[in-house]
Structure 1
Amino acid sequence: MVLTALLGAVSYGTIEISIDGSSLLPDAALALGLLLVPVFVGLELRAAKPMIEMGELKNRLLGFSLAAAFFQSLGYLAVIFLLTLYLQGVRALSPLDASILLVPGYCVGAVAGPFMGRLSYRTGTRAMATVGILLMLVGVAGYAQLDANSWLGWVPIISLLTGLGTGMFFPANTIAIMSQAPSDRLGAISGLRSTLQNMGALLSFVLTFAIASAAVPKPVAYAVFLGTTNAAIPSAFLTGLRYALYACAALLAIAAALSWRRGVDR
């Protein structure tokens, strides 16, 4: 019940703040969710059969891999959203044309994932996952250099780099996490990994959208994303997108550091 209330309050608060800005009810919900974190931890420490074995997180490989998964989601999963704002709002592409430019990266990630997963058993997950994050970081930094007159061909080219990065990171990091899970805790550890990644993704959208939309009213930014407006977008909006992408790159740098600090497989 406490975990459900925690996740519900944080989700509601962050979503509403990203849509309508700060106000009493969403701020209170977010504050309640954060206050429930130590309550949940305290209950888990005293529970006979906890959902999350806090002692398991002392395992360096497991703990740092989970932290890397969270920060990777926090720093990367909103990048496609930002690119959509750039392609539709700044470059005036249709939603279909904008999505087509991003297809190459998805294809590379889908093809590379299974191969990189098998390869990581031989090379180790530490290097594979960390290099994957670094490729994403370089790609995001590359996206941040795009302006209103950049060659659109750079978008699919950079997406090949980020697609390879995701194809390296996700299987390697998942292998590292699940290899440290006790046989009777596989489901719980997998659920914890998914929860951290989902929360990272949610907070990623809130953080980046708040930065990117600071230059224009939020309804205009949402209309750009949905492709329902042809209105001219202020040049300051491009600056906001660039700052949001740099913030994503900084979070990916933290994820890379955590991934490397996990240590070698054992």
Structure 2
Amino acid sequence: MMLLILFFQGFKGFDPLVASILVAPLGIGLVITGPIGGYLSDRYGSRAVTTLGLAISLVGLLGLAMIEYNTPFWLITIWMFINGIGSGLFQPPNTSAIVGSVPLERRGAASAMRAFFNNTGMVISITIAIPLLMSTISLDQMINMFVVGGMSQPVYIQVAFTNGVTSAFWISSAITLIAIIASDMRGTDEEALLQVPISS
């Protein structure tokens, strides 16, 4: 989301408010499928739904990884929406699986640890993505990108900046692929419940 806001603001020349609004398809997809993900996990178990959600997110990330400096906004919107759909399917059952795998008296701690690792992951992703983006063009070119507008810059600068954005999405895609494998290999919900000690 941060990369896309920078892309819309610095490259496309939108102001911060509009650039933030333009990433709404990501949130819309998440809002639509979030309740569906919770319902499906209750009905079919969390492993299948989380794995499906990650796979759909991967499709969206791969689409974003292939955008170019002149890719139309409607196509970027589709990839954002698909990524949001996958996130909505993934997050509720994943949270349910984490919290449900511990005894009742430890579920607050489990939820807190989930939030901690989630926030840590976001911070780490920013520390990877921003330097990767900044390394694509010089500091003066980056300043001109945000002050004058990216569309007014030479094409080679536009291509280099876009390549920095897409490189971060390629890395995210690789990490998501690993997450899909890990999600599919974990035990079933029934096996997780059997491992939880029953308190007296």
Q: Normalization by structure 2: what TM-score?
A: 0.83
CA contact (8 A) 1:113 1:167 kept: yes
Find the partner of 2:174 among 250, 261, 266. Answer: 250
Query: Could you tell me which amino acid in structure 1 is paired with residue 50 of structure 2?
Result: A
Q: Distance in 1 between matches of 2:20 and 2:131?
A: 23
Q: Distance in 1 between matches of 2:161 and 2:32?
A: 35
Which consecutive residues of structure 1, in runs of 5 or more, have no partner in the other structure? 1-79
Give the match for residue 76 of structure 2. Answer: 155
Give the match for residue 31 of structure 2. Answer: 110
Counterparts of 1:204-243 in structure 2, within 5 Å, are: 204-217=125-138, 229-232=147-150, 234=157, 235-243=159-167
Q: Distance in 2 between matches of 1:174 and 1:223?
A: 42
Q: Distance in 1 between matches of 2:13 and 2:21?
A: 14
Task: Tell me how far 1:180 sits from its aligned partner.
Answer: 0.6
Which consecutive residues of structure 2, in runs of 5 or more, have no partner in the other structure? 191-200
Task: Tell me how far 1:220 sits from its aligned partner.
Answer: 6.5
Find the partner of 2:110 among 184, 189, 192. Answer: 189
Give the match for residue 18 of structure 2. Answer: 97
- Report the identity percentage: 32
1:198 and 2:122 are equivalent in the alignment: no
Query: Could you tell me which amino acid in structure 1 is paired with residue 9 of structure 2?
Result: Q
Q: Distance in 2 between matches of 1:222 and 1:113?
A: 38
Query: Could you tell me which amino acid in structure 2 is paired with residue 92 of structure 1?
Result: G
Q: CA deviation digits over 1:4-62, x for unaligned, max 9?
A: xxxxxxxxxxxxxxxxxxxxxxxxxxxxxxxxxxxxxxxxxxxxxxxxxxxxxxxxxxx
1:176 and 2:100 are equivalent in the alignment: no
Count the aligned residue pairs. 184
Query: Could you tell me which amino acid in structure 1 is paired with residue 180 of structure 2?
Result: A
CA RMSD of aligned residues (A): 2.1
CA contact (8 A) 1:91 1:148 kept: no
Q: Distance in 1 between matches of 2:160 and 2:111?
A: 42
Query: Could you tell me which amino acid in structure 1 is paired with residue 20 of structure 2?
Result: S
Partner of 1:230, secondary structure, is helix
CA contact (8 A) 1:102 1:155 kept: no
CA contact (8 A) 2:4 2:23 kept: no
Give the match for residue 71 of structure 1. Answer: none
Q: Distance in 2 between matches of 1:131 and 1:162?
A: 12
CA contact (8 A) 2:53 2:85 kept: yes
Q: Distance in 1 between matches of 2:160 and 2:91?
A: 35
Q: Normalization by structure 1: what TM-score?
A: 0.64
